[in-house]
Structure 1
Amino acid sequence: MTLGTDEHLARLGEQCGDFALQCSDVAGFVTQVNQRIEDDHGRLETLRHSVAHLQLLQDEANEAATEIRDVAQRATGLITDSHGAVVGALDEIGCLIDDVVRMGDELEGFTSAIEQVAMVSGQLDAIVRQTAMLAINASIEAARAGHSASGFAAVASEVKRLAGNARGATASVRNSIERLDGSARRVIGDMRSGAERGRAARSRTGEITGALETIAALVTQFDQQSAAIERAGHDVTQHVATLDEGLGAFLTRGTENAAELARTRQRLDELESASNRMLDQVAHSGIATPDSRFIDLACEEAERLRAVIARAIETGGLAEADLFVTAYRAIAESDPPQFMTGFVPFADRVIRPMLDAATARDPAIVGCCLIDRNGHLPTHISARCHAQRTGDRRWNAEHARNRQIFMDRQTRDALDRDGDWFLYTYRQDLGEGRYRPLRSVFVPLHFAGKRWGCYELGYLI
């Protein structure tokens, strides 16, 4: 069966719409890939900064390891040089301690000699006392003998005198010996105590030598470990440098890929725009297509809405300044952000019921709305005008679309072009990477001879 020209054009229009949607899908995918590349690029930049910081820290660690090894080597040299001197000094101390011990033993013998002298001194004292007694007896006998024994009396007197002198000398010697004995005993006591400490110290010299040898062994091990740390640090530095080089190359390739994807996205956008222009041209040819009823409905509803707004301006129900105001007032804590204008209350009260009624005229229609020249939606259908939920951005993006600002390429193109109406196929952004394919009719709106924005009717394909 041969198809007529009109049917060919209708099919061409549909194919152009399908191609535009496919371009939009691919462009959306490219955009997501490009966004992931950009996100990865940012993370890689952060990682590269971390690697650079790690490189600085590793350089500091390498310097510290080198200094530690230098200190360990110097310590090893000092211990090696001083080990002999310390051992020699300990040996000399040991000899001195032996001398002290030996002097203590000799003083012990000296004490014995003093005790012997004290015994002899006691014996001399006994002899002196006996001599004195003899002298006294001799004097008594001489006195009895009278003059004839005067010579004997003189001898007895002299013996007595000598015995007294001997007694004094003996007492002096005894006192000196006692003092010498006391001093000698104190010295001996000190020498004994010193000798005991000397013997204990002598036994510790071996421990000191062993401890010194242990320290020397530990310093040697420390030097070996620091050398291993230094080698490992240099290996880490090389690996970090390799990682940094690889990250740099990967970042360069990522940047090039992102640029290439951006160019690809631009070409896809151009193809999508060209396909939508062809779709729009076919729809404007007057040939009946599946889009015709939606185009007619959009134009009809846009005209009805335009008349209502124009009449409100004429009667004072709406100020023209409020209609064209661009001083958007952000609504606090809204997410995505919403904005109020002087036109919003009128739009909610008067325009929203009209949008609901138009949407209900065909099951395929997903919604009708107004868009000013900056992409602001003063109101929407009731199903899209719910109060926002705190902390639920995804839900808000889909169910609280009123008072938000949306600006995609199709909307921007429709707002910038002059004509009676425009037909587009595109993917509607629902937020957080969610989309759905739509076809929309945009009808320009003018008030008081000025372009205000567009009336949009969106429907499922």
Structure 2
Amino acid sequence: MQGRVRRWLSRRSQASTAGPAVAMEALPAAVPPLAEFVTLADREAVSVLEQDVVAAMRRLAADLGRAEQFSTQSETRSGAINDSVLSMREATATASANSAALVTASRQVSESAEEIGCSMSLARERLDAAAIRAGEATGMMTGLAMATAEIRGIVDSIAEIARQTNLLALNASIEAARAGEAGRGFGIVAQEVKVLSVEVREAVDHIRNRVDRLTQAAHGSAAIVTDALQMVRDVNPVIAAIGHASQEQVAATAELSRNAGETARFVETVAERVAEIARIALSAATESESASARRATARGASLAGGLLRRFIPTLRHSSFADRRRHDRFPAEHPVELRLGTRHFGSRTIDIGRGGALIARPGQDEFVPGLTGSLAIADLPPMPCRLAAISDLGLHMAFEQQVFEQTRLLDELLERTETGYRPLIERTHAFAAAVEALFSEALVRARLSEGDLFDADYIAIPETDPQQYRNRALPVLEEILPPLLARIFASDSRLLFTVAIDRNGFIPVHNAAYALPQRPGDPVWNAAHSRNRRIFDDRAGIAAARSVRPFLVQSYLRDMGGGVLEIVREVDAPVRVNGRHWGGVRMAYGM
């Protein structure tokens, strides 16, 4: 690219030093004049220069954008790592507390298991003693049963004696009756003996019943004691197994307690490492160098994007690189466009003798170079070519036209230009008035030329959107407001009237848009505090850098907070002492 620039400058130098007669003599008759040849060569060189610079700036902007994206991703990931480490730190703290609780619980379980083991041993000893006592009780019940059997035998003997005594008493009574009076006393005795034998028999029966019940109770008690003894014998192994299990549990809980202690110590170590990682992650997440690098990359990408955004309008609106051969005028007309195999309707945004800017329909993809036809309003279709695509729309270039198409297009453009002519003349008068004010300030030494053209803009602190000042600002804020107010009041359709320097700096704005900023309210400030700001968007740079006698453009004006306003603007350049200072802008509502 540097070689192409040097060759271009060399050609311009040679063309300027060589005399016209010499240059013409060296050219064949069929070759165009030298001035036209140099102009074509300059335009070609500028076109190549523009393509190379734009491509390089786009690559730079893309690389800076990717670097900013990587930096942002790295910062985001560092923040995520920091968050994860904090979560892990909380988890390790919880695990440490749980481990300590586990140690305490395992010790308590071990102590409880030991107590259970002691209780099971004591219970087994008591059961063994109960088994011995049950055996002794069984023996005693057996002895009691034997004694009751012996008592029953004695009772049976007594019953037999009582029966025989009763028989003897009966026989004695009979004999006494036979003896008569002499046996009367004996009969009484015999009768008493009989009564006693009967009482003895009844007493014996009663004793027998008691002995029988005692025997049955003894046998029942012996059976119960036997069952209890068997139950004790059955429970004893279970108690033994429980005692053995409790001993194993004691050993297991002791091992668990030891492992829990080791786990607690390990978790403490992990917590210390996590705390160290947290410090490192927090340092990485909040590292000022990383944030500064990201901000610097973002600023670089923003500057590269702004430079790219300003370069094309700046280059194309310069006197030597202006490739536009015809003026363009904002005008809205319905169109029917055929490109390749596609046919659709749209509208014009601006129109000129060489082509038109067409609003892009939807998100359809188009490729520059497509040819077709364009029918504007009531005009017949004209051959056209898609020259370029931008955010503004489809840039259509008219191809070779027949006479009738050219005449009708010229009539449409003449009507459009006639409608803009009063606005253009008013803008020229505005530019002349600004030039007069600046010249008068220079003559009266209120400003130096260096101050007027000062481009060392100083950011005003605590302003959002950012405002700036330069050396000329105090004087411009004194001399421009009356003129701006008078021009603004001359037409009710006007939205604003301002002077803008070559870099897009608007030092003074109309009163409604030059209010003091409100702290912490950038949306309100963007709409009401538009003075002392740099507007280096496409429309602003085009108005600031254009050297054409006039420039008419339409665009969406950003009022802040997502509010857009459709504006149609007429601009004219401002020159002071032969130097291009900038321009004036007169914007009208659509």
**TM-score, normalising length from structure 1?**
0.61
Residue 183 (structure 1) aligned with residue 183 (structure 2): no
Q: CA separation of 1:148/1:352 partners in 2, compared to 1, >3 Å: closer, same or farther?
A: farther
Is it true that 1:366 corresponds to 2:490 in the alignment?
no
SS of alignment partner, residue 284 of structure 1: coil
Distance (Å, rounded) in 1 between the aligned partners of 2:571 and 2:383: 21
Equivalent of 2:83, from 32, 49, 64?
A: 49
Match of 1:257 among 267, 271, 293: 293
C-alpha displacement at 1:25, in angstroms? Answer: 1.0
1:92 counterpart letter in structure 2: R
**1:284 aligned residue:** 319
Q: Please state how far the C-alpha of 1:22 moved relative to its aligned partner.
A: 1.4
Instruction: Please say if 1:446 is aligned against 2:482.
Output: no
1:34-433 paired onto structure 2 within 5 Å: 34-146=68-180, 153=187, 156-251=190-285, 252=287, 253-265=289-301, 268=304, 284-285=319-320, 295-296=323-324, 299-300=325-326, 302-303=327-328, 305-306=329-330, 350=376, 360=385, 365-367=387-389, 377=392, 380=394, 411=538, 414-415=541-542, 417-420=544-547
User: Using a 3 Å threshold, how does the CA distance of structure 1 residues 101 and 277 change in structure 2: closer, same or farther?
Assistant: same
- Structure 2 distance, partners of 1:52, 1:143, is 128
Aligned letter for 2:251? A
Q: CA deviation at 1:168?
A: 2.7
Which structure 1 segments of 5+ residues have no match? 286-290, 311-321, 324-333, 337-347, 370-374, 383-407, 422-443, 454-461
Q: CA RMSD in A?
A: 4.5
- Larger strand proportion of the pair: 2
C-alpha spacing 1:357/1:91, structure 2 compared with 1 (3 Å):
farther
Cα deviation for residue 209 of structure 1 reads 0.9
Secondary structure of the equivalent of 2:546? coil
Native 8 Å contact 1:16 1:278 kept in 2: no
CA distance, structure 1, for counterparts of residue 80 and residue 192 of structure 2: 123
Following superposition, the deviation at residue 103 of structure 1 comes to 1.1
Alpha carbons 1:20, 1:271 under 8 Å: kept: no
2: distance between equivalents of 1:243 and 1:182? Answer: 86
Deviations 1:340-381 (A, max 9, x none): xxxxxxxx9958999x96961xx7x224x7xxxxx8x4x646
Q: Which amino acid aligns with 2:174?
A: I
CA contact (8 A) 1:14 1:279 kept: no
- Please give the alpha-carbon distance, in whole angstroms, between the structure 2 residues aligned to 1:380 and 1:353: 19
- Aligned counterparts of 1:180 and 1:245: Cα–Cα separation in 2: 91
Map Cα deviations across residues 417-443 of structure 1 (whole Å, 9 max, x no partner).
24246xxxxxxxxxxxxxxxxxxxxxx
Identical pairs, percent: 16
> 2:212 & 2:332 partners in 1: Cα distance?
139
Corresponding letter in the other structure for 1:197: M
Contact preservation (8 Å) 2:313, 2:538: no
Q: Distance in 1 between matches of 2:258 and 2:164?
A: 89
Distance 1:80 1:417, change over 3 A: same
TM-superposed deviation, 1:63:
1.2
The farther-off stretch of 155-164 and 29-38 is 155-164
Q: In the aligned structure 2, how far is the partner of 1:3 from the partner of 1:121? A: 162
- Segments of structure 2 that go 5 or more residues without pairing to the other structure are 1-6, 16-37, 334-348, 351-361, 365-373, 397-534, 549-567, 573-584
**C-alpha distance in structure 2 between counterparts of 1:208 and 1:194, whole Å:** 20
Instruction: Indicate the structure whose relative CO is greater, using CA pairs within 8 Å and at least 6 residues apart.
Output: 1
AA at the equivalent of 1:257: A
Deviation at 1:81, TM superposition (A): 4.5
Which residue of structure 1 lines up, in the alignment, with residue 65 of structure 2?
A: 31
Contact 1:101 1:198 in 2 (8 A): no
1:104·1:191 contact (CA, 8 Å) conserved in 2?
Answer: yes
Query: Is this contact kept in 2: 1:97–1:202, CA < 8 A?
Result: no
CA shift for structure 1 position 142: 3.6
- Contact 1:17–1:275, Cα closer than 8 Å, also in 2: no
Distance 2:101 2:215 in 1: 65
After superposing the two structures, state which structure 1 stretch, 68-77 or 142-151, moved more.
142-151
Give me the whole-angstrom Cα distance separating, in 2, the residues matched to 1:269 and 1:113: 124
Cα distance change on mapping 1:272 and 1:157 into 2, 3 Å: closer
Deviation at 1:206, TM superposition (A): 0.7
Contact 1:17 1:279 (C-alpha < 8 Å) held by counterparts: no
- Report SS of the residue matched to 1:450: strand
- Return closer, same or farther for 1:152/1:109 CA change in 2, 3 Å cut-off: same
Cα separation, partners in 2 of 1:352 and 1:267, compared to 1, 3 Å: farther
- The 8 Å contact of residues 169 and 194 in structure 2, kept in 1 or not, is answered as yes
Question: Greater share of helix residues, 1 or 2?
Answer: 1
In 2 relative to 1, CA 163–266 (structure 1 residues): closer, same or farther, beyond 3 Å?
closer
Q: Offset at 1:18?
A: 2.3
Tell whether the 8 Å contact from 2:313 to 2:541 is kept in structure 1 after alignment. Answer: no
What is the CA-CA distance between 1:31 and the residue it aligns to?
1.0
Mean Cα displacement is larger for which, 76-85 or 58-67? Answer: 76-85
Q: Deviations along 1:256-311, whole A, 9 cap, x unmatched? A: 33134235446656876897698568x623xxxxx66xx13xx51x43x44x569x
Rounded Cα–Cα distance in structure 2 between residues aligned with 1:186 and 1:65: 59
Runs of 4+ in 1 over 6 A off after TM superposition: 7-10, 273-278, 351-354
Query: Once the 2 structures are TM-superposed, how far is the Cα of residue 95 of structure 1 from its aligned partner?
Result: 1.4
Partners of 1:78 and 1:70 lie apart in 2 by 12
User: Per-residue deviation at 1:125?
Assistant: 0.7
Distance 1:98 1:153 in 2: 62
Instruction: State whether residues 89 and 271 of structure 2, in contact with CA within 8 Å, keep that contact through their aligned partners in structure 1.
Output: yes
Change (3 A) 1:412 1:95: farther
TM-score (ref. length: structure 2): 0.49
Contact 2:114 2:247 in 1 (8 A): no
Following the alignment from structure 2 to structure 1, what is the Cα–Cα distance between the partners of residues 52 and 271? 56
Larger deviation, residues 256-265 vs 409-418: 409-418
